[in-house]
């Protein structure tokens, strides 16, 4: 059984372990009566992780397996097929929290010694509402101008996402009027990159605004 982990090993990370790095952590902690943690400690927003790094993080599952205790008390191992590895990376869109969420749900979607792509998809169906809520919380906290900028940017083809085009589509008189908003979304929010053309640093937000992800 996958849920029975060998006492000498550490189980796969649970999504809760990543919450201190989430953008909403300070809001949640500070909203509680008498909470002082958010005021005493500086929170850090985790940047997106590239797919190569996420694939590498899961590679030990594919090649070596994860040690667990079997019914007889002996050590056993759970492996992951490469297709499952790719599915977890694709679904998580480079977000640390979503990566942990997808991995945890895949782990508990079966009881055998091999995690399959089918089990990843099965687990993700249960995780999708939480993934969607995670992205919605980020968007809902943004000022109206910043959210409008993101939605307008998402409505353009990737190669058309220049400041001038985004500003024009959003109804600004000139491109420079949208500059401060773009700067905040890049340097403060860490949601976009002001490259040429502009791109989404937060790929889960891009997926949410441009496709049927996470469903």
Query: φ and ψ at 169, to 5 degrees?
Result: -65, -30
Distance between CA atoms of residues 37 and 186, nearest Å: 27
Q: What is the pLDDT of residues 86-106, one digit of tens each?
A: 999 999 999 999 999 999 999
H or E segment and range at residue 149 = helix 144-154
Supply the pLDDT for residue 47: 76
Supply the pLDDT for residue 4: 33
Q: 101 and 77 in contact (C-beta within 8 Å)? A: no
Q: 198 and 162 in contact (C-beta within 8 Å)? A: yes
Q: In what order do the strands lie in the sheet with 66-69?
A: 66-69, 75-80, 114-115
Supply the pLDDT for residue 25: 45
Supply the pLDDT for residue 79: 97
Supply the pLDDT for residue 2: 54
Which segments of the chain have a pLDDT < 70? 1-46, 72-74
Name 77's bridge partners.
Answer: 67
Q: Which residues are within 8 A (CB) of 180 and not within 5 positions of it... i.e. 6 or more apart?
A: none
Supply the pLDDT for residue 46: 67
Six-digit token pair at 155?
A: 């409505």
Cα 16-97-30 angle, rounded to 5 deg: 60
Supply the pLDDT for residue 127: 97
Supply the pLDDT for residue 9: 40
Distance of CA 167 to the CA centre of its chain: 28
pTM > 0.85: yes or no:
no
* Of residues 186, 142, 140, 143, the one with CA closest to residue 163: 186
Distance between CA atoms of residues 207 and 68, nearest Å: 35
Supply the pLDDT for residue 68: 87
Domains, the chain? 15-140 (no CATH), 142-210 (1.10.10)
């Amino acid at each position: 059984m996958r849920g029975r982990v060998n006492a000498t090993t550490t189980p796969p990370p649970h999504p809760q372990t990543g919450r201190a790095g989430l953008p909403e952590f300070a809001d949640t902690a500070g909203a509680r009566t008498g909470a002082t943690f958010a005021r005493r400690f500086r929170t850090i927003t985790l940047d997106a992780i590239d797919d190569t790094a996420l694939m590498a993080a899961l590679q030990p599952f594919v090649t070596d397996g994860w040690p667990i205790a079997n019914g007889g008390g002996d050590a056993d191992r759970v492996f992951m097929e490469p297709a499952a590895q790719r599915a977890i990376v694709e679904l998580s869109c480079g977000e640390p929290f979503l990566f942990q969420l997808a991995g945890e749900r895949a782990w508990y979607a079966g009881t055998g010694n091999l995690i399959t792509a089918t089990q990843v998809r099965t687990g993700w169906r249960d995780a999708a509402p939480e993934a969607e809520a995670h992205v919605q919380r980020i968007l809902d906290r943004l000022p109206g101008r910043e959210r409008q900028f993101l939605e307008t940017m998402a409505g353009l083809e990737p190669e058309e996402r220049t400041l001038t085009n985004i500003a024009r589509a959003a109804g600004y008189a000139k491109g420079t009027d949208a500059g401060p908003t773009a700067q905040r979304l890049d340097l403060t929010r860490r949601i976009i990159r002001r490259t040429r053309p502009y791109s989404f640093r937060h790929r889960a937000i891009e997926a949410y605004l441009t496709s049927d992800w996470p469903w």
